[in-house]
Amino acid sequence: KFKSLVAKAAEWHELTKEELIYVLQPEDHKERELLFKKADEVRQNYCGSDVHLRGIIEFSNICERNCLYCGLRGDNKRLNRYRIPEEEILEAAAGAYRLGYKTIVLQSGEDSWYTADRLCSIIRKIKEGLDVAITLCVGERTYEDYREFRNAGADRYLLKHETANGALYTRLHPGMSFRARISRLEWLKELGYQVGAGNMVGLPGQTIADLADDILFMKRMDVDMAGIGPFIPHGNTPLGKASGGTLDLTLRVLACARLLMPLVHLPATTAVGTLHPYGREKALQCGANVVMPNITPSRYRKDYEIYPNKICVNEEPERCRGCIQNRISSIGRTVASDYGHSLKLKVRH
């Protein structure tokens, strides 16, 4: 049964929720390897050998939200907060461009100091100076703000849905609602962004059925990118004593996501690299086709502590670039040389 369901998913990219729950839980090593192998084949057929690199600048760790799992939550007073001055952000972007990055990701906590004007100024200057795509990841904003960012030149927007279980979403996000999250994802699509969503794996109280819903939710939303990574407990948060997501379960979710969304961009996340020294390589071999190396200026890095023991906090951007190149070559893959736009755009237009 397992074998035929995986074969069906690999061919038709459709499963019912019940079937997906079944495929998410291989019974032995053989079934597990089959799942990973099929996901790797689908990735090869639809995305090829290319791995897309996105250089991420974590430009502010100030956050007005209080997500229960996150080290940047406003109530965590034991964190040195920073905002990187505009000139340094532009320098970091230029440095990344020289290292060959074709996408710059601008990420921060939900920091309202960054008005639309301030963010648009950064976006415009990067787009004027460098031939790169820009992904924004700055949380929930107004429709008008999203429109201004888009007009300033932002190409993509990453707003993870975190969990498709509405009750769990409400528990984890004081003062926020899953409805508001979904409508923002819809706005972003309407505004012509390439849209990324995504969820954490191994959240307290999360079930396999919830993870199936995460995958089906993103498939239904037809997202361009699905950021799936393990939850890693952070000591200075209310979930500090929870147990986190495992590498194995994260890989199974990634593999199923690839089977059902053959053209989606799937990052091998920094979080999966934090769980295991070869976590990112493993992810790239069960469906993933994107890596997001850190290009934040070194002196700020350790303070973007979403979860503990994050990799690369002591490395310079040059080091990570070389490191990631080696890792990609070591598994017989190639670094993409194009912008790495959504693979769905070609199909849509």
- The pairing of strands 55-60 and 103-108 is parallel
- The pairing of strands 156-158 and 194-197 is parallel
Spatial contact of 77 and 237, defined as CB atoms under 8 Å apart: no
Which of the ranges 63-71, 114-122, 291-299, 311-319 carries the binding residues for ligand SF4, by CB under 6 A? 63-71
Comparing CA positions, the residue from 119, 157, 165 lying closest to residue 140 is 157
Among residues 132, 271, 292, 328, which is the contact residue for ligand 5AD, using CB under 6 A? 271
Which of the ranges 22-30, 126-134, 224-232, 327-335 carries the binding residues for ligand 5AD, by CB under 6 A? 224-232
Residues contacting ligand SF4: total by CB under 6 A: 9
Three-state secondary-structure class, residue 152: helix
Q: Can you say whether the dihedral through the CA atoms of 99, 101, 106, 107 is positive or negative?
A: negative
Among residues 101, 114, 217, 307, which is the contact residue for ligand 5AD, using CB under 6 A? 307
Residue 323 engages ligand FES in binding (rule: CB under 6 A): yes
Cα 78 off chain centre by: 26
Residues contacting ligand 5AD: total by CB under 6 A: 12
CA distance linking residue 245 with residue 165, whole number of Å: 16
Three-state secondary-structure class, residue 173: coil
Q: How deeply is 243 buried, as exposed, middle or buried, from its count of CB atoms within 10 A (0-12, 13-18, 19+)?
A: exposed
Which x/- pattern, by CB under 6 A, does the window 5-44 give for ligand SF4? ----------------------------------------
Residue 21 or 56 with smaller CB distance to ligand FES:
56
Residue 14 or 318 with smaller CB distance to ligand FES:
318
Residue 72 engages ligand SF4 in binding (rule: CB under 6 A): yes
From residue 209, give the alpha-carbon distance in Å to each of 10, 22, 139, 163, 297.
20, 10, 26, 11, 40
Spatial contact of 333 and 51, defined as CB atoms under 8 Å apart: yes
Segment (H or E) for 323: helix 317-330
CB of 345 to ligand SF4, least distance (A): 27
Binders in 170-229 for ligand FES, by CB under 6 A? none
Residue 73 engages ligand SF4 in binding (rule: CB under 6 A): yes
Residues contacting ligand FES: total by CB under 6 A: 7
Among residues 260, 306, 336, 343, which is the contact residue for ligand 5AD, using CB under 6 A? 306
Binders in 277-316 for ligand FES, by CB under 6 A? 293, 312, 315
Residues that bind ligand FES (CB under 6 A): 293, 312, 315, 319-320, 323-324
User: Using CB under 6 A as the criterion, which residues of the chain lie in contact with ligand SF4 when the complex forms?
Assistant: 63, 65, 67, 70, 72-73, 109-110, 139
